[in-house]
Structure 1
Amino acid sequence: MTLPSGKLLLAAALLLSTALAQTAPPAPDRPSAQSAPAVRPAAHVPFTVHLGKRGKSTTRDRPADTKPVPWDLSTHGAKALYLTFDDGPHPIYTPKVLSILAKHHAKATFFVLGREVAAHPELLDVERAAGHHIGNHTWDHPMLTHLTDARIRQEISTGVKSRCFRPPYRDTNKKVEAIAASYHFQQILWDVDTNDWKKPGEAAIERAILRGAHPGAIILMHDGGGNRSETIAALDRALTKLAAQGYSFRSLPC
């Protein structure tokens, strides 16, 4: 993508702040809503999608089986965690999340909304330049199972190009997954829902991250859709403690 000179300067400035910044102070507010089950990679083996936490089926209309995916995460080590951030990019909170990740030498995956990328394309460039990966979270964050097939296709196809797709609200079924697959997306959910969109307080978000952490876990947080000040503060503290336990923080192969 070729950016106008003003946006190019903004992207360069954001990238520099991401690489050099330590923690950034929290900032103001705006709400969101989302919750979901897990689809997680196993450590030391090729990436296998499990339906729901501990392999139990939680995606509706889908049998409790596993489906191999040609992604090998075995080189990431036994204590790799997969940090994911939904609903961005946001001009206030995404740069602050990027600063925290840079401070801890952490990589993450950002499941972005097409409408937010259209509004802030320079932030997508900054995320990619910093070595993070990007996933499709639809264009406008609808409940997909409530839509016609044509609208589902429109929501998914107008989101960003990626190998990974995450349905808003975990609202998915066989049809949604099949439509996503027709665009060469692998549906990715998560193991640990921090419920940060509820703004339960920094300590509660930090506890959710620490208690849910286990090798290969996908952790859900948000950098968009609301005030993410609590998420940013909790993320910094949690990554400090998890790194001391020997965890590394990797992007999903999206």
Structure 2
Amino acid sequence: MRIAKVREGAEAERAAARARAEAELTGLTRELSGLRRAISDARRAEARRASEAAAPASPRARERDRGLDAASRAASRAREALREPAPEPVTEGPPPGVGDHVHDPVMGFRGRILAIDGDRAEVQGGSARMRIPLGRLVRDRAAARRAEFTEPPPPVASVSAPAATLEVDVRGQRVEEARGEVRDRMDAAAMAGLPSVRVIHGHGTGALRTVVREELRRHPLVARAEPAPPDQGGDGATIAHLTDD
């Protein structure tokens, strides 16, 4: 309740500040229009009276120019105020936990926490899964409310999660089965802090090799993938090097 009140107050204050800026900009725009018309009329009159085209401007004309310049600067400041981004939402309380809907303001990534490893959280958002510093995440209460009335929550990490290993053998699997196996094993290896994983796909027709390397290129936790050295399977295996953050 306290957070809601603080946020409502912040929203009301931002709305009031924007309304003030808009009103100020409207007034300054009218003032600028009036000044421009007055200066234009005065300059036409002075041009008619001037004996030379290069006659210096009168003190009154210079004063009008200064007024126009000051009003222009004030209008620019008002427009800039209207363009300022809204401040970050007010947050307080304990950090989010497993199962919470969260938002990363830095990356704009939204999802749900599947697991927490030290100071990092594994967040599933749509078809992407990311490891993000826990301290950077804020609860996404709007998404949590929507989830209450839509589909059941996604499963969180449990003892049935695949084990983290330095080697994965997908030979004999169907293409989509191998794709899922590689994705899950990379997730598990990254959570365990492994530096790399060797994926054995064999030579065969090349279909498994293609899908394995495609999945590794797309995986957000894989820094790079390359064929294994000759003594580790050569082109019949692929080494996936995991990110270190």
Structure in which a larger fraction of residues adopt helix: 2
For Structure 1 versus Structure 2, the TM-score category normalised by the shorter chain is under 0.3
Q: TM-score, normalised by structure 1?
A: 0.22
Instruction: State the structure with more CA Rg.
Output: 2
